[in-house]
Amino acid sequence: MTTSNRELQNWVASVAALTKPDRIHWCDGSEQEYQTLVAAMVQDGTLIKLNQDTHPGCYLHRSNPTDVARVEHLTFVCTSDKPSAGPNNNWMEPAAAHAKLDALYAGAMQGRTMYVVPYLMGPYGSPYARAGVEITDSAYVAVSMRIMTRMGAKALQHIEQNATFVKGLHSIGDLNPERRFIMHFPEELTIKSFGSGYGGNALLGKKCHALRIASWQAREEGWLAEHMLILGLEDPHGQTTYVAAAFPSACGKTNLAMLLPPTEFAGWKVWTVGDDIAWLHLAPDGRLWAVNPEAGFFGVAPGTSTKTNANCMATLGRDTIYTNVALSDAGEPWWEGIDGEQPAGLTDWQGRPYQPGNGAAAHPNSRFTVAAAQCPTYSPHANDPQGVPISAIIFGGRRATVAPLVYEAFDWEHGVFVGASCASETTAAATGEVGKVRRDPMAMTPFCGYNFGEYWAHWLSFSAKSEKLPRIFHVNWFRKDGNGRFMWPGYGDNMRVLKWIVDRCQGKGQAVTAPIGYLPAADALDLRGLTIDPATVRELLAVDAKHWQPEIEHVGQYFDQYVEAIPAALRDQVQRLAQALKS
């Protein structure tokens, strides 16, 4: 295979001249190609075949133990001037970044196959879909891209008809963390990634393209590229309300997107449109419509069970690639939190006989890669070219204290402030300390491809363009009591909170006004069938000034680093809230 697109042809030739692969393989995305690549990886040990009776089409991949998560300190946005990248990004001058990476790529693919992977982000035929080509020397990345994106011949056709595409160059190099970089050149629609084979570092369609590069394009073109799940909530009358929710990595997006309502919500259905990324466009009807640019889930394994997420477990029944989970002696995948007792004879994520002294059996950031179409609740509208209309945007985070279970912003401007002032405890999805509270506006700290100050201004600009924007909410499933236990059951029971959100969108749903926004009135949350102490519910919905005053002070200090880029409206919101908390 080759292409009629001259730019693509020339780029592939120049990359081959630099990296010197033994072979070049243009991926067509066919089932046969997938099976051939998988078989070769089973041969060379890149993949381990799992028990095909219980897990047909499932494989285990063990990544290099130094390469298990996104590396934020090695991720750069390389714009021609530094302020464009903002204090929220690492920056390197583009020419210097190219020189640094090209030196690493020189000869890096010797003895390897270079895969040319054309892909489309967004539904076929969607005016919002965007194409890319990833060149990679990892067969694992190539097959993962087939699951996660619309990859192959049809994507190439799209490129040949539409010309522009994002160029992503990826080499695993020698996986030395000292020589690992994830570089973005938004002005050139180019990504260069070296030295990692893991997740968002290596599957370039995902965070690199669909968030960092796309957020840059979205600002220029008047739309939004966000770290959001998309789900539809169908009520017993058949009316569906769509919501999009931004939570930081490993803070519950996949689980909320696949939620199964508790038995008390008979007649309600939840439809999964996306679990990680949303592209939102203002349509002529004044509403924000969302497409999921992805076609698969790269989801966190630990904590997933038939109790927490039966829907996800059903999705994983076949044709799934697991990465860094543990292995039972029956050849089945295993992780902390999965159903049943821990079996004897486990092999841990590094391939060692499991020993408690070596830490968890599955890596805390171990994941599954699976086609979204396998999800039993995958929305019949997930491939609609125009997307689905969003009625509510939900921000959230992992906060043991401060943030209540749910509240609603007063209006769009206040909602943008609520998103911009989000914070969350860090997780294993990125290297570094876990459990440390950091500010994570719109759950985009690691993913916004430009200055956050300008990003918030872009968000604010939507209110002048429409009067039918979604309502904005904030949720927190992760409040803990004095004994360190979660106070809210979470998972399927989050439906109770979503129901209040739907009610609010329909002009129902009683609320009380607090300085931070509207909170559910007493009894407005449907808690039928839930065993929870009323005092706990009151605490989950309390706004404690002695927690919020230092919080808002911290938000103000955080905004200060954006100097003149910060919109005045957000500064005013800080002032207003600080005042309101005093009285």
Residues known to be catalytic: 251
If one asks whether residue 184 binds ligand SPV (CB under 6 A), the answer comes out as no
Residues 6+ apart with CB under 8 A from 464: none
If one asks whether residue 276 binds ligand SPV (CB under 6 A), the answer comes out as yes
Count of alpha carbons within 13 angstroms of residue 373, beta-carbon side: 9
The distance of closest approach from Cβ of residue 481 to ligand SPV in the complex, given in angstroms and rounded to an integer, is: 28
Any idea how long the chain is?
583
Look-up of token digits 């919109």: 567
Per CB under 6 A, contacts with ligand GTP among 378-437 are 429
Question: Under rule CB under 6 A, how many of the chain's residues touch ligand GTP?
Answer: 23
- Report how far apart, in Å, the C-alpha atoms of 45 and of each of 39, 50, 323, 379 are: 10, 13, 13, 36
Per CB under 5 A, contacts with Mn ion among 234-263 are 249
Residue 455 or residue 491: which is nearer to ligand GTP going by CB?
Answer: 491
Strand partners, 368: 299, 322
If one asks whether residue 211 binds ligand SPV (CB under 6 A), the answer comes out as no
Token code pair at residue 503: 């009610």
Taken in order 71, 86, 189, 423, is the CA torsion positive or negative? positive
Select the span of 148-156, 179-187, 190-198, 248-256 touching ligand GTP (CB under 6 A). 248-256
If one asks whether residue 276 binds ligand GTP (CB under 6 A), the answer comes out as yes
Q: DSSP string of 84-146?
A: HH-TTSEE--HHHHHHHHHHHHTTTTTTSEEEEEEEEES-TT-TT-EEEEEEES-HHHHHHHH
Q: List the one residue from 180, 192, 206, 479 that touches ligand SPV (CB under 6 A).
A: 206
The DSSP H or E segment spanning 302 is none
Select the span of 88-96, 136-144, 297-305, 401-409 touching ligand GTP (CB under 6 A). 297-305
The distance of closest approach from Cβ of residue 199 to ligand SPV in the complex, given in angstroms and rounded to an integer, is: 3
254 binds, among ligand SPV, ligand GTP, Mn ion, none (CB under 5 to 8 A by kind): ligand GTP
Residue 57 or residue 490: which is nearer to ligand GTP going by CB?
Answer: 490
If one asks whether residue 349 binds ligand GTP (CB under 6 A), the answer comes out as no
Per CB under 6 A, contacts with ligand GTP among 480-509 are 486, 490-491, 494
If one asks whether residue 140 binds ligand SPV (CB under 6 A), the answer comes out as no
If one asks whether residue 247 binds ligand GTP (CB under 6 A), the answer comes out as yes
CB 326 within 8 A of CB 347: yes
Residue 367 or residue 414: which is nearer to ligand GTP going by CB?
Answer: 367
Look-up of token digits 């243009």: 26
The DSSP H or E segment spanning 387 is none
If one asks whether residue 303 binds ligand GTP (CB under 6 A), the answer comes out as yes
The distance of closest approach from Cβ of residue 355 to ligand GTP in the complex, given in angstroms and rounded to an integer, is: 23
Question: Under rule CB under 5 A, how many of the chain's residues touch Mn ion?
Answer: 2
Token code pair at residue 415: 């909602």
Residue 249 or residue 311: which is nearer to ligand SPV going by CB?
Answer: 249
If one asks whether residue 215 binds ligand SPV (CB under 6 A), the answer comes out as no
Look-up of token digits 């509240």: 407
Residue 201 or residue 254: which is nearer to ligand GTP going by CB?
Answer: 254
CB 114 within 8 A of CB 15: yes
Residue 262 or residue 449: which is nearer to ligand SPV going by CB?
Answer: 449
404 binds, among ligand SPV, ligand GTP, Mn ion, none (CB under 5 to 8 A by kind): none
If one asks whether residue 429 binds ligand SPV (CB under 6 A), the answer comes out as yes
The DSSP H or E segment spanning 222 is none
The distance of closest approach from Cβ of residue 249 to Mn ion in the complex, given in angstroms and rounded to an integer, is: 5
Cα 463 off chain centre by: 25
70 binds, among Mn ion, ligand SPV, ligand GTP, none (CB under 5 to 8 A by kind): ligand SPV
E strand spans, 247-387: 269-274, 278-282, 288-291, 296-300, 321-323, 326-327, 333-334, 367-371
Token code pair at residue 151: 């990859």
Strand partners, 388: 290
Per CB under 6 A, contacts with ligand SPV among 239-258 are 249
Residue 197 or residue 262: which is nearer to Mn ion going by CB?
Answer: 197
426-435 burial, b at 16+ Cβ within 10 Å, e below that, comes to bbbbbbeeee
3-state secondary structure of 340: coil
Count of alpha carbons within 13 angstroms of residue 278, beta-carbon side: 36
Select the span of 76-84, 113-121, 249-257, 467-475 touching ligand GTP (CB under 6 A). 249-257
Q: List the one residue from 207, 209, 212, 399 that touches ligand SPV (CB under 6 A).
A: 207
Count of alpha carbons within 13 angstroms of residue 55, beta-carbon side: 21
Look-up of token digits 């890319």: 132
DSSP 254: H
Residue 265 or residue 478: which is nearer to Mn ion going by CB?
Answer: 478
The distance of closest approach from Cβ of residue 282 to ligand SPV in the complex, given in angstroms and rounded to an integer, is: 25
Q: List the one residue from 34, 194, 298, 322 that touches ligand SPV (CB under 6 A).
A: 298
Q: Residue 3 burial by CB count (10 A; 0-12/13-18/19+): exposed, middle or buried?
A: middle
Token code pair at residue 178: 């000292």
Q: Using CA atoms of 425, 430, 431, 436 in order, give the dihedral in degrees to the nearest 10.
A: -10
Question: Under rule CB under 6 A, how many of the chain's residues touch ligand SPV?
Answer: 9
3-state secondary structure of 503: helix
If one asks whether residue 70 binds ligand SPV (CB under 6 A), the answer comes out as yes
Using CA atoms, how far apart are residues 427 and 449, in angstroms rounded to an integer?
21
Token code pair at residue 236: 């017993």
Look-up of token digits 């998309």: 230
The distance of closest approach from Cβ of residue 276 to ligand GTP in the complex, given in angstroms and rounded to an integer, is: 5
Q: List the one residue from 126, 136, 149, 254 that touches ligand GTP (CB under 6 A).
A: 254
The distance of closest approach from Cβ of residue 283 to ligand GTP in the complex, given in angstroms and rounded to an integer, is: 27
If one asks whether residue 276 binds Mn ion (CB under 5 A), the answer comes out as yes
Q: List the one residue from 308, 323, 377, 424 that touches ligand GTP (CB under 6 A).
A: 308
User: What residues make contact with ligand GTP under the rule CB under 6 A?
Assistant: 247, 249-255, 275-276, 299-300, 302-304, 308, 429, 477-478, 486, 490-491, 494
Q: List residues binding Mn ion (CB under 5 A).
A: 249, 276
> Using CB under 6 A as the criterion, which residues of the chain lie in contact with ligand SPV when the complex forms?
70, 199-200, 206-207, 249, 276, 298, 429
